[in-house]
A and B are shown apart, each in its own frame.
Chain A
Amino acid sequence: MHVRKANSMERTLALLVTACVLYIPANLLPIMITDQLGQPTESTIIGGVVLLINMGSVSIAMVIFFASVMIPLSKLAMMFYLCWSVRNGPPETVRQRTVLYRVTEFIGKWSMIDVFVVAILVALINLTNLLVIHPGGAAIAFAGVVMVSMLAAESFDPRLMWDQRDGKDE
C-alpha cells in the first residue's frame, strides 16, 4: 500500500507551468552550433528537423519531430486535462483517463532523444579547426522541459480521479 502524494495537484500544476515556460527558450535558442572551418552555423530543434527532411531522411526527421515537438506538447496538454478532470471530468471515463495517465508517464523520457543526439555529436565530432560541434542553450532548456514534465507526471496522483467517482457512488 502506498501513501498518497502530498499536495499532488498544486505541485503538478506548478511543474506543468514551469515546463511550458522552459519550452519557449528550448525552441527559440539554438540547440547545436556546427563550427566548420571557423564558420559557425546555429541550428534550432525545428531547424534540425527541416535539415533532415532536406537530406532525404524523412523517417528520422519524423522521429525527431515526434520526440521533440509532439511528445512534449501532447504530454503537457494531457497532464493539464487530467488535472482539470479530477474535479470536472465525467466520472464514467475515469478508466480511460487512468490509461491516459499511464501513457503520459511512459512517453515522457522519449523526448530526451534530441538532447542525447547533441551530446553524442559534440563528443564524437571534434576535429580541431576543421569541424567542431558545440551544444547550444536550447539543449539545457529542453532537458529542463523533459525533466520538469516527468516530475509533474510523477507528482500527479491518479487516485484523485477515482476519489471523485467513489464520492459519487456513496
Chain B
Amino acid sequence: MESCLNIINKDEANNFANYLACPSCDLLFDVSMLADGESARCSRCGNFLTTYRTNELSHVIAYTSSALILLALACSYPFMSFKSNGLESVMTLPETALRLLSNGMPTLAFLVAAFIIIIPALVVVLILGLSVALKLERHYRWLRPAGKLVYHLQNWSMVEVFFIGVLVSLVKIGHMATVIMGASFWSYAVFSLFFVLSLSSLDRVQCWRRIGALQP
C-alpha cells in the first residue's frame, strides 16, 4: 500500500525529526503520519522512501540471529566436492579466499573473503546489535556509527552474485567430473535468504527515527 505524500514548504521544516529529504532528489516530505504497513515514495522522482511497521524489530532480530547461525554452519562444512578418476578434492567456503592467498594473490583473496563472508557477517552483526538496542530502547554511543556503517556496507555484500558464480562453475566443470554439493552450500543458500530478509525488514528511515527518539 502506498500513500501519496504532500510536498511541504521548506519554511515549515522546523521540526526536523518528522521530515525527510528524498535521498535521490532532495525534495522534503513529512513521513510521520504513515500507518502500520504503509510505504511512501517520492512524488517527484519515484524513489522509495520508507515503510512503517510497528513490530519490525522483532522480525529483524529473528532473521539476523538465524542468518548468523547459518553463516557459522556454512563456514565449517564442505561447500562442494569434486570427483574425477578416483581422485577427490573438497572445498570449503573460506578456502575460496585462502587458495587465492596461497596462489600469491593476497589482494584478491582479501576482496573475495570480504565480499562473500566478512561484509555480510559484519552487516548481520551490526543489524542485530542495532535492533536489540532499539527494541530495549537503550541509547548507546555506537548506535549512530553502526547505523551508518550498515547502510554503507550493504551495497558491498555479494552473496547473491557468488551463487550465480557457483552455478556457472557447475556448468564449466560438470562435464569432466562429478560435483557434489555439501552441507555448507545449503546453509549458505538459506543464509542468503535470511540476509536479504534482515536487510529488507529494517527500514532505513524508521531506524534513524527510532535512534533519534532515543537521544537524551
Contact = CB atoms under 8 A, between A and B. Distances in A.
A61 to B, nearest CB: 9
Chain A contact patch, size range = 35 or more
B25 A98 contact: yes
Interface of A is mostly: helix
A63 B108 contact: no
A52 B25 contact: no
Given A63-B164, A64-B168, A123 B91 contact: yes
A13 B87 CA distance: 50
Contacts of A98: 24-25, 45-47
Contacts of A119: 96-97, 99-100, 108, 112, 165
B175 A55 contact: yes
Nearest to A56: B175
Q: Which of under 10, 10 to 19, 20 to 34, or 35 or more describes the interface residues of B? A: 35 or more
B116 to A, nearest CB: 8
Contact of A140 (B91, B105, B115, B175): B105
A10 to B, nearest CB: 20
A63 B21 CA distance: 38
B25 A158 contact: yes
B140 interface: no
B112 A116 contact: yes
A124 interface: yes
A143 B108 contact: yes
B200 interface: no
B103 A135 contact: yes
B46 A99 contact: yes
Given A115-B112, A135-B105, A162-B45, 10 more contacts: A52-B171, A98-B25, A102-B47, A112-B115, A120-B165, A120-B166, A122-B99, A124-B82, A159-B25, A162-B25
Interface of B: 16, 19-21, 23-26, 44-47, 80-82, 84-85, 87, 89, 91, 95-100, 103, 105, 107-108, 111-112, 115-116, 155-156, 158, 161-162, 164-169, 171-173, 175, 179
